[in-house]
Amino acid sequence: MSSDPIDGKSGGRAALAPAIPGWAAPLRLTVNGTAHTVRSSPETPLLYVLRDELQLHGPRFGCGLGQCGACTVHLGGVAVRSCSIPVSAVGDQPVTTLEGLGSPDHPHPVQQAFIEEQAMQCGYCINGWIMTAAALLDKTPHPGDAEIRTALSGLICRCGAHMRILRAVRRAAARGG
């Protein structure tokens, strides 16, 4: 029996793969510093792969249309909307999710500032704000208020926690990210 190139076991998915319409070779992703082989089809949004296959639930599904920012991750250090990027477009660019930004014991400075400002209500949108602000401060450690507002302008908070969120990002910016 032949060996499965996906999981190394015989008699698995690869034995059936040539007969499945649309089947494609597994994709490799580096997420939060760890290499993964994923089985989703190439056109699957990166968000679905992260949440459903890799069980990384920091990025959220909000609109699914690239308009709210809840699904934001870093791709090669740039904040992007993972609901609108097919997993096949990731290539060898490293992906960072909220889980890779900080930890409960060692939060990222932006996460720490959000905690200190209690900058959330339901919390559903917060992934997008934190990931976007972290990318901004990575590139521009001391942004002015206009730069902060411009960077955050495409994000939506249905709870209206915007003023607390702005205070948190300003707090992190004052510390240089």
Which residues of this chain interact with ligand FES, rule CB under 6 A? 61-64, 66-71, 81, 83, 120-125, 157-159, 161
Write down the least CB distance from residue 46 to ligand FES, Å: 10
Residue of 119, 122, 43, 33 lying closest to 74 (CA atoms): 33
Write down the least CB distance from residue 83 to ligand FES, Å: 3
Write down the least CB distance from residue 63 to ligand FES, Å: 4
C-beta of 123 vs 141, nearer to ligand FES? 123
All residues at 6 or more sequence positions from 77 whose CB lies less than 8 Å from its CB, including other chains? 94, 96, 135, 138
Phi/psi at 176 (nearest 5 deg)?
80, 30
Write down the least CB distance from residue 98 to ligand FES, Å: 14
Phi/psi at 166 (nearest 5 deg)?
-60, -40
C-beta of 14 vs 120, nearer to ligand FES? 120
CA triple 66-71-74, angle to 5 deg: 100
C-beta of 62 vs 143, nearer to ligand FES? 62
